[in-house]
């Protein structure tokens, strides 16, 4: 259990909010009101909830199906594995809509003779930033479902689930989004030039949305080892799952 460092009161209903170390955005368990710790202004951003559509047994079933499919897995994986942990967690995300315009100069060298090139790369993104600093969650493999999204409602949170508050405020989420989008733009630039001499990106950022999404975290045991899996609680699809290494013998 994480240690509770600060106890503040909900600005809306006065209930006690228990915050873990590092949490900056708090959602009240009683009234669902969201506030930023230490800020005197109310939280004015949109807070959405993605509904969970599955229970333990369905998720276990989904994982079993995944274990049985695909030829890179051990043939007895579904039969010999055992679920050792299964937990529904509502993770906090920031969805940052932005347009990035990168102007560049460089040299195209893959075709002789090498030719100088310049231009701009412009893209629109709905960039997803996880609101937790330390997490093994593969944000780039996850797409926030557009269906099943409702205005945040704490009564729709499964009571047995773990609910995580954001450790990032919207300003730092925007910073993260810009950094990662710039990185992505730089990656796209590799198609245009081989040498980059100038690269400059400007951003047009829209209002971010704060979202809680249901993710199932599973650990399963197979032949004495523990493996991890994450399943989307909205769609039931596998976001990431470890496959035990098998020895494929060369003939
Ligand atoms: Zn409250």
Question: What is the pLDDT averaged over residues 181-210?
Answer: 95
**pLDDT for residue 116:** 94
For residues 78, 65, 217, 59, the Cα torsion angle rounded to the nearest 10 degrees is -120
Considering the entire predicted model, what is its pTM?
A: 0.87
Give yes or no for residue 203 having a pLDDT over 60: yes
Q: Please, are residues 10 and 19 in contact by the beta-carbon 8 Å criterion?
A: no
* The pLDDT of residue 45 is above 80: yes
Residue 191 alpha carbon to ligand 1 centre in Å: 51
And the tokens for 176?
Answer: 């993260």
Q: Are 179 and 205 in contact (CB under 8 A)?
A: no
- The alpha carbon of 25 and the centre of ligand 1 are apart by a number of angstroms equal to 13
pLDDT in tens, 137-184: 888 888 888 778 899 998 999 889 999 999 999 999 999 999 999 999
Tell me the CA–centroid distance for residue 10 and ligand 1, in Å: 5
Per-residue pLDDT, 251: 45
Expressed in angstroms and rounded, the spacing between residue 9 Cα and the centre of ligand 1 is 8
Q: Residue 160 — φ and ψ, nearest 5°?
A: -85, -5
Q: Return residues with CB closer than 5 A to ligand 1 (ion).
A: 10, 12-13, 15, 28, 30-31, 33
Pairing of strands 209-222, 46-50: parallel
pLDDT averaged over every residue in the chain? 89
pLDDT digits (tens, 9 = 90+) for 90-137: 999 999 999 999 999 999 998 889 999 999 999 999 999 999 987 778
Residues 6+ apart with CB under 8 A from 117: 105, 106, 107, 108, 192, 193
Among 32-41, 210-219, 240-249, which range has the highest average pLDDT? 210-219
Question: How confident is the model over 88-98, as pLDDT tens digits?
Answer: 999 999 999 99
33 near 42, Cβ under 8 Å? no
Q: Where are the domains of the chain?
A: 1-44, 47-144+155-241
CA 175 to centroid of ligand 1, rounded, Å: 29
Q: What's the confidence (pLDDT) of residue 4?
A: 53
Quote the CA–CA distance of 161 and 88 in Å, as a whole number: 5
Confidence class for position 247, pLDDT limits 50, 70, 90 = low
Q: Is the dihedral of CA 156, 162, 163, 166 positive or negative?
A: negative
């Amino acid at each position: 259990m994480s240690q509770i460092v600060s106890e503040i009161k909900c600005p809306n209903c006065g209930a006690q909010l228990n915050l873990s170390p590092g949490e900056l955005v708090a959602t009240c368990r009683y009234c669902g009101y969201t506030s930023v710790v230490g800020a005197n202004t109310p939280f004015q951003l949109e807070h959405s909830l993605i509904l969970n559509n599955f229970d333990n047994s369905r998720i276990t079933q989904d994982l079993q199906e995944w274990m049985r499919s695909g030829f890179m897995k051990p043939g007895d994986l579904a039969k010999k594995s055992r679920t050792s942990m299964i937990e529904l967690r509502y993770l906090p995300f920031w969805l940052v809509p932005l347009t990035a315009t990168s102007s560049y100069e460089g040299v195209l060298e893959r075709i002789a003779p090498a030719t100088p090139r310049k231009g701009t790369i412009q893209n629109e993104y709905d960039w997803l930033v996880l609101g937790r600093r330390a997490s093994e969650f593969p944000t780039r493999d996850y797409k926030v479902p557009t269906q099943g999204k409702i205005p945040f409602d704490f009564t729709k949170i499964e009571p047995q689930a773990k609910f995580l508050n954001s450790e990032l405020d919207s300003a730092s989420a925007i910073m993260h989004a810009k950094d990662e989008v710039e990185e992505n733009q730089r990656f796209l630039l590799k198609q245009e030039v081989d040498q980059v001499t100038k690269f400059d990106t400007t951003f047009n950022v829209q209002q971010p949305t704060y979202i809680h999404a249901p993710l199932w975290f599973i650990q399963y045991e197979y032949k004495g080892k523990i493996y991890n899996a994450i399943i989307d609680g909205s769609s039931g699809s596998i976001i990431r799952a470890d496959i035990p290494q098998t020895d494929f013998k060369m003939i």
